[in-house]
Chains A and B, each alone.
With several copies, the nearest count.
Chain A
């Protein structure tokens, strides 16, 4: 499958795993006949049947919890939470249960559960359907957190998540589902904790996640025109995090900007900034700049929504500020 969309890539990773073994199955709201609210699971019911592509009631706690129980009993379930905003309903199961069973049992159990969810603004659904909450999960030992930004990465990382023996929270970005890209014929599971450098550069490192990877690449293109050479790095997994790659890049460029769609305050960028200032202190020629949503719930009116969430121009502004050309 040379060129494929992000959406197809997600589907393909699940289907491949489900073909490979019976322990993999998927549960979620409206994932069967309807193919999921984002169309990701379309066609899977026909191939795998209702036992393995299970429509569920609206019960976020119970479906995550059922995933945990099935995982503890030897399955490799995938649970879909329709919108990331609704992970708020399942926090207890994710944080107190999935993340801790292995530890509390002193290593007797494992919980090979993948929780897929999606989110992202830019389509004006209002305050409860487009939040980016990935930072919370990075604060929870026992979880792994993935947030891929390209068709190839999403396919490889999802496959790796399914076969990871730990609970993985897998973030997809709504606006990327239609994105096309080349993917290798065979799935090549990526190791968690390995960043991808999308573009090499000399003057500043932009650490970006999700949609902002693409905004960062667009900003880098523009910056190039203005004589600024930008390196764009996507950590791909936030937990574990490829600190070494980030630090090595900043040691080369001496400047860093971190960009995500989530609210800046207490966002993932805070952690990156804290790490970079600590580990690359002597290399930094300017403070680490942070790009993200302004401090506000997501407003409905497109004019306001557009203002709150970050775009390429915001990354560009941060790049310029960091290299001292603002």
Chain B
């Protein structure tokens, strides 16, 4: 299905180049984050989504203005793809007032409300119920908006997932549940946490419309997301979008990954890198690629400079923003 779909709605090469550029930006941004973290410059607890860039870009590019998202602990990609400037994201990771959460959030709590990012969540499954509620608000007010939740395979085991899916379907709210199935929850592989092979079945328990797609192909993700969003926006109820993807790094920055063979990661890097896949599909001439790399590198380096030059909060600022 996915391939047929892709062929019949092929995106213009320029659009795909734009997607590639965005994916590359996310990749290089996160690599920089890893580097800066290892250099001891970044505080806190960081998780990169290297390998999952096509999901963030494919889904977020399919959104309309006014649509909202909720993200997870692995939030940099979603945040950038939803339109937050790399400067603001990097500034947040450096704990600066210019950051997208003004230094209050950090990597696991990225917000950009103006751009429809209602927040990343460090509690697995914690953001799902709110997405149902935002979608309900859109429905009650007859606004043509959709609320989108990102979450992982591990999150499908938690009660909040169940209650949220059930409620969304019962009330027919315009929500899309994007499962980024990267086959691991921290160190725990599918077979130690999931009694079924195909997580698409989880949607059946609620009678929710489900789609299962290859998340390493951004075009496939984009088309599927468009369809899912249309379904939701047209009042046909929520959609469960099961995206198969891969985490090409550790769970968190610094994870020695003792729980999986080095070979697995090497093989995945070789076969499942969404950036490389798109680059070779596009048959991008070396020159263009290098230009893209340079452009992206400049943005990423710029974001580090921006962040470092940012304003530290005053200690007492901690006592602001507790109440409205």
Residue positions of A touching B, CB distance < 8 A: 22, 25, 29-30, 32-35, 37, 51-52, 54-75, 77, 85-86, 89, 92-93, 96-97, 101-110, 112, 123-129, 141-142, 144, 165-166, 294-297, 299-308
Contact = CB atoms under 8 A, between A and B. Distances in A.
Contacts of B155: 58
29 contacts: A25-B140, A57-B154, A57-B163, A57-B167, A58-B155, A62-B164, A63-B129, A64-B129, A69-B118, A69-B133, A69-B135, A70-B133, A70-B140, A97-B130, A102-B321, A126-B108, A126-B109, A127-B109, A128-B121, A299-B318, A300-B95, A300-B109, A301-B43, A301-B312, A302-B43, A303-B95, A305-B318, A307-B315, A307-B316
B104 A71 contact: no
Contact of B123 (A59, A73, A128): A128
A277 B250 CA distance: 52
Contacts of B119: 101, 104-105, 109
Contacts of B106: 124-126, 300-301
B313 A301 contact: yes
A71 B137 CA distance: 8
Contact of B101 (A25, A106, A124, A166): A106
A307 B187 contact: no
Contacts of B114: 108
Given A66-B129, A73-B138, A106 B105 contact: yes
B160 A102 contact: no
Contacts of A112: 324
Contacts of B133: 65-73, 77
Nearest to A90: B129
Nearest to A110: B324
Interface in B183-214: 185-188, 192-194
Nearest to B257: A34
Nearest to B108: A126
Contact of A70 (B43, B95, B102, B134): B134
B233 interface: no
Contacts, number: 280
B129 A128 contact: no
B259 A300 contact: no
A107 B314 CA distance: 16
Contacts of B137: 69-70, 73-75
B132 interface: yes
A40 to B, nearest CB: 14
Given A56-B193, A300-B104, A302-B95, A125 B45 contact: yes
Interface in B272-324: 312-324
Interchain residue pairs A-B with the least CB separation, the first 5: A65-B129, A69-B133, A106-B102, A300-B106, A69-B130
Interface string B98-129: 01011111111101111000110111111111
A296 to B, nearest CB: 5
Contacts of B321: 102-103, 105-107
Nearest to B43: A124
B20 interface: no
Given A34-B186, A62-B163, A124 B95 contact: yes
Contacts of B112: 108
A64 to B, nearest CB: 7
B111 A109 contact: yes
B130 A30 contact: no
B319 A294 contact: yes
A75 B140 contact: yes
A124 B159 contact: no
B258 interface: yes
B111 A106 contact: yes
B45 A129 contact: yes
Contacts of A144: 323
Nearest to B152: A58
Contact of A142 (B160, B166, B323): B323
A296 B313 CA distance: 15
Nearest to A59: B163
A165 B123 contact: no
A7 to B, nearest CB: 16
B239 interface: no
Contacts of A102: 321-324
Given A56-B193, A125-B108, A65 B128 contact: yes
Contacts of B157: 57-59
B49 interface: no
Contact of A96 (B126, B141, B167): B126
B25 interface: no
A108 B113 contact: yes
Nearest to A308: B318
Contacts of A72: 118, 130, 133-134
A32 B189 CA distance: 11
B123 to A, nearest CB: 5
Contacts of A56: 167, 193
B170 interface: yes
Contacts of B319: 294-296
B96 interface: yes
Given A73-B133, A126-B105, A307 B43 contact: no
B68 interface: yes
B218 interface: no
Q: Which of B45, B170, B318 has the most CB of A within 10 A?
A: B318
Contacts of A33: 187, 258-259
Nearest to A300: B106
B134 A34 contact: no
B147 interface: yes
Given A86-B123, A129-B108, A294-B319, 10 more contacts: A54-B171, A63-B129, A69-B131, A77-B133, A109-B118, A126-B108, A127-B105, A127-B122, A166-B324, A300-B101
